[in-house]
Amino acid sequence: MVDVPATAVLVHSPYLGPASLRPLARVLASLGHPVLMPDLRATVNAAPVHQRLIGVFADAVEESEVAGDLVLVGHGGAGPLLPAFADALETPVLGLVFLDAELPTPGRSWRDDAPAERMARLKSLARGGLMPRWDLWFAPEALSAMVPDVRLLEEIVGEAPEVPLAFLKEDRPTVSWTGACSYLRLSAVYDAAAGRARELGWPVVPLDAHHLAAATEPDLVASALVPLLGRR
């Protein structure tokens, strides 16, 4: 009997779009790993964002009629929702992989644990209740240093939605997950999250890269991710 690899469900950050993970998806597919990458951008343009994200994610996965087991891979801000995503599915989920991502904080909002000055800055940038696109949170040279390919950067930036400020105030789902978890750290920004994952006993794989490395260095990220996809 042939052992069919679990399908890697790549979940982009609510602040980005599929372009941030598409190169990684191509490399995984070339290595023989089935990949599914839902486009969740339409869910983040109005509150309640968490509820809309979970519903559309579940519909997209179930409607894909993907066969076999799944491993959910959440990038950045998608990390806290991975247990809720898994809970919403009928298809069995074998594990969760946090890709340079925040960890779940059930019943707590992003604002509850963020520095007050950071929340104040994002509030000052918001217009009409919407935060600016993710790329506008940073100096242009910071992004171009991460993504020197102009066309790729334009594609990533072009997909970035304006997310309601209310998203930061919404309590995250209170869903428990007792299955396998692992952490793939791409950037120093997520050192604290990787440290907490290590304290929880999860396998943690650190790479010396940056937050968008799944787009710019997909071979490097895929080589580190593949062993985590096979964990049970």
- The token pair at 140 is 């242009």
CA nearest to 105, candidates 79, 143, 131 = 79
| pLDDT value at residue 46 | 83
pLDDT truncated to tens, each residue of the chain (232 aa)?
446 788 999 999 999 999 999 999 999 999 999 999 999 998 888 889 999 999 999 999 999 988 788 999 999 999 999 999 999 998 899 999 999 999 999 999 999 988 899 889 888 888 999 998 888 888 888 889 999 999 999 999 999 999 999 999 999 999 989 999 999 999 999 999 999 999 999 999 999 999 999 999 999 999 999 999 986 6
CA nearest to 185, candidates 125, 100, 114 = 100
Strand ranges for 167-220 from DSSP E: 180-185, 204-206
| pLDDT value at residue 137 | 84
What's the DSSP call for residue 172? P
Task: Read off φ and ψ for residue 20, nearest 5 degrees.
Answer: -70, -15
Query: How does DSSP assign 115-160, residue by residue?
Result: -HHHHHHHHHH-BTTBPPPGGGGS-HHHHHHH---HHHHHHHHHH-
- The token pair at 94 is 């074998």
Which domains, ranges and CATH numbers included, belong to the chain?
7-107+173-229 (3.40.50.1820)
| pLDDT value at residue 231 | 66
- My answer on whether omega of the bond before 48 falls inside 30° of 0, hence cis, is yes
CB burial of residue 224 (10 Å; 0-12, 13-18, 19+): middle
| pLDDT value at residue 2 | 47
| pLDDT value at residue 1 | 40
